[in-house]
């Protein structure tokens, strides 16, 4: 069997003395959308940070067979991972277009970059309207779209999304997820999404994992996760 695109096995991570991840095993296949659920403090964000080498880790993180553990973030990013951080992390004092160009930092194909910028402007027309404005002056929803578009500018094999719906109105969240679904379908970009809005995320993900106190306690197809009794009580509320 071919190796999955992303494979975490036995990943431990700690901030100083506080161990946050206690042996996480997780896989994301090529072109697959996987959602990572869990309560606050369960270690979801840390999992994403561990993949990007932004926190001290033990265990193994492999991307397409290449070991990522212990490598600097910039190296990991060059291997084809884009991280859309929690709270969007757009560059507030840079214009929208400059933000997109920063996203394409590791690319050298100038023509391709221009084409991609135009492409994401088509997908997110509101970004096109504000291309010369400073990103910091935009609404939360627009900033989130910018963050996603910026992440895609790197032409990643895997997109990590950390709570993309945080602070967004329901309608904007739906719009964003519709766009993500389309992007996944058309570009076959794999996605690992950390999300509080479990219902919405599971409706478009292929598979799901549930993280509790730093370990995976449940995994399976989106439907199976949604169908799980404990899961429903804990996260879906019905």
Partner 1 sequence: MSPNIDNPAYLLTLLTGGLTNGVLYALVALAIVLVYKTTSHINLAQGEMATLGAFCVFELTRHGVNVWLAIAIALVLSFFFGAGLERGLIRPLERRGVFPVILATLALFLIINAGVAIIWGTQPVAPPRPFPSGIDDKIDLIGGAPPFFITHVSLGVLAVLVVLLLGLWLLLEKTKLGLGYRAVAANREAAEVMGIPVGRMYMFGWGIAAALGTLAAALVAETAGALDFNSMGVILIFGLAAATLGGIDSVPGAAVGGLALGLVMAVVPGLFTVIEGDLSLVIALLVVLVVLLVRPQGLFGTKTLERV
Q: Choose between 101 and 131: whose C-beta lies nearer to partner 1.
A: 101
The CB-of-100 to partner 1 minimum distance in angstroms stands at 11
Helix 96-103 to helix 140-152 angle (10° resolution) is: 30
Annotate each residue in 165-204 with x if it binds partner 1 (CB under 8 A) or - if it does not, as one string. Answer: ----------------------------------------
Q: Which stretch binds partner 1 (CB under 8 A): 10-18, 86-94, 187-195, 199-207?
A: 86-94
Q: Does 215 bind partner 1 (CB under 8 A)?
A: no
List 74, 118, 187, 230, residue binding partner 1 (CB under 8 A): 74
| Sequential DSSP letters for the chain | -PPPSEEEEEEEEEETTEEEEEEEEEEE-TT-EEEEEE-TTSSHHHHHHHHTT-S-EEEEEEETTEE-TT--HHHHHHTTEEEE-TT----TTSBHHHHHHHHTTT---HHHHHHHHHHHHHHSHHHHHTTTSBGGGS-HHHHHHHHHHHHHTT--SEEEEE-TTTT--HHHHHHHHHHHHHHHHHH--EEEEE-S-HHHHHHH-SEEEEEETTEEEEEEEHHHHHH-HHHIIIII--
The CB-of-129 to partner 1 minimum distance in angstroms stands at 22
Q: Choose between 16 and 125: whose C-beta lies nearer to partner 1.
A: 16
Annotate each residue in 119-158 with x if it binds partner 1 (CB under 8 A) or - if it does not, as one string. Answer: -------------------------------x---x----
Is 27 in contact with 179 (CB distance < 8 Å)?
Answer: no
Q: Which stretch binds partner 1 (CB under 8 A): 1-9, 83-91, 115-123, 214-222?
A: 83-91
Neighbours of 119 (CB within 10 A): 13
Number of residues engaging partner 1 in binding (CB under 8 A): 23
Q: Choose between 106 and 170: whose C-beta lies nearer to partner 1.
A: 106
Q: Does 226 bind partner 1 (CB under 8 A)?
A: no
Annotate each residue in 29-68 with x if it binds partner 1 (CB under 8 A) or - if it does not, as one string. Answer: -----------------------x-x--------------
Q: Which of 216, 159, 136, 198 is nearest to 6 (CA)?
A: 159
* Residue ranges binding partner 1 (CB under 8 A): 52, 54, 73-74, 77-78, 82-83, 85, 89-94, 98, 101-103, 105-106, 150, 154
């Amino acid at each position: 069997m071919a190796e999955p695109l992303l494979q975490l096995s036995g990943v431990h991570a700690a901030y100083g003395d506080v161990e946050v991840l206690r042996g996480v095993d997780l896989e994301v296949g090529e072109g697959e959308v996987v959602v990572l659920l869990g309560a606050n403090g369960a270690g979801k964000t840390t999992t994403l940070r561990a993949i990007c080498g932004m926190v001290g880790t033990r265990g193994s993180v492999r991307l397409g067979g290449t070991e990522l553990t212990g490598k600097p973030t910039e190296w990991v990013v060059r291997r084809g991972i884009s991280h859309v951080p929690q709270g969007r992390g757009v560059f507030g004092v840079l214009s929208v277009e400059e933000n997109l160009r920063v996203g394409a930092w590791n690319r050298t194909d100038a023509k391709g970059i221009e084409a991609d910028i135009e492409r994401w402007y088509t997908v997110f027309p509101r970004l096109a309207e504000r291309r010369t404005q400073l990103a910091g002056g935009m609404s939360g929803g627009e900033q989130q779209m910018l963050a996603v578009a910026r992440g895609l500018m790197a032409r990643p094999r895997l997109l990590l999304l950390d709570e993309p719906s945080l602070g967004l109105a329901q309608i904007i969240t739906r719009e964003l997820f519709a766009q993500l679904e389309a992007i996944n379908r058309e570009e076959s970009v794999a996605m690992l999404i950390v999300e509080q809005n479990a219902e919405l995320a599971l409706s478009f993900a292929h598979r799901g994992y549930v993280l509790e106190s730093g370990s995976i306690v449940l995994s399976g197809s989106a439907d199976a996760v949604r169908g799980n009794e404990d899961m429903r009580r804990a996260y879906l509320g019905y």
